[in-house]
């Protein structure tokens, strides 16, 4: 099984120690379509779980991306500035958005594991 955890809003987080890498799911990038810009926050921003932390702009529309857990933004994926299509091509790898220093790893308990998330997405039709 993968070490990814998912929100019902289609963000994923991969935790290593007290930091988590965050992005949007394969399903989310597929729904949004070709990514043309990702509006990333400044390093140092503190977010609460569920707060808007980035905006994914596809050809069609702008979509808010929410923090899967609270914490401080310690790094953003600057490569997306020049190649936002990485979100479409490799959503769980090169298409990562940012890294958080988690304020309460306990918040992750409510997130879905990959198989639960995949069943959830299937239910969306």
Partner 1 sequence: MSDPIPLLETPLAPLHRELGARMVPFAGYLMPVQYPAGIIAEHAHTRSKASLFDVSHMGQGRLSGDDVPHALETLVPGDIMGLAPGAIRYTLLMNERGGIRDDLMVTNAGDHLFLVVNAAHRGDDFAHLRASIGRRCLVEELGEWGLLALQGPAAAAVMARLAPGSESMRFMTARSLTVAGIPCFVTRSGYTGEDGFELSVAATEALALARALLAEPEVRPAGLGARDSLRLEAGLCLHGADIDDATTPVEADLTWVIGRRRREHGGFPGADVVQRQLAAGVERRRIGLILHDRVPARAHAVITAADGRPIGTVTSGGFSPTLGQPIAMGYVETAQAVPGTAVRVMVRDVGREAVVTAMPFVPHRYHKGS
Does residue 51 bind partner 1 (CB under 8 A)? no
61 versus 109: smaller Cβ distance to partner 1: 61
**In this chain, which of 3, 43, 48, 60 binds partner 1, going by CB under 8 A?**
60
Our finding on whether 3 is near partner 1 (CB under 8 A) is no
Q: How far is the CB of 34 from partner 1 (least distance, A)?
A: 4
34 contributes a contact to partner 1 by CB under 8 A: yes
Kindly tell me which residue out of 2, 37, 89, 113 binds partner 1, with binding defined by CB under 8 A: 37
CB of 4 to partner 1, least distance (A): 24
Among 1, 42, 59, 93, binds partner 1 (CB under 8 A): 59
3-state secondary structure the chain: CCCEEECCCCEEEEEECCEEEEEECHHHHHHHCCEEEEECCCCCCEECCCCEEEEEEECCCEEEEECCCCEEEEEECCHHHHCCCHHHHCCCCCCCCEEEEECCHHHHHHCEEHHHHHHHHHHCC
């Amino acid at each position: 099984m993968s070490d990814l955890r998912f929100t019902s809003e289609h963000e994923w987080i991969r935790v290593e120690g007290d930091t988590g890498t965050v992005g949007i799911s394969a399903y989310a990038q597929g729904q949004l379509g070709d990514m043309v810009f990702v509006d990333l926050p400044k390093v140092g921003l503190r977010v609460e779980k569920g707060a808007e932390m980035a905006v994914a702009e596809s050809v069609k529309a702008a979509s808010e991306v929410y923090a899967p857990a609270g914490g401080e933004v310690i790094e953003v994926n600057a490569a997306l500035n020049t190649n936002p299509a990485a979100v479409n091509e490799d959503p769980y790898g090169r298409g990562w958005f940012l890294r958080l220093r988690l304020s309460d790893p306990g918040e992750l308990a409510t997130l879905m594991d990959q198989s639960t998330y995949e069943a959830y997405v299937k239910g969306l039709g």
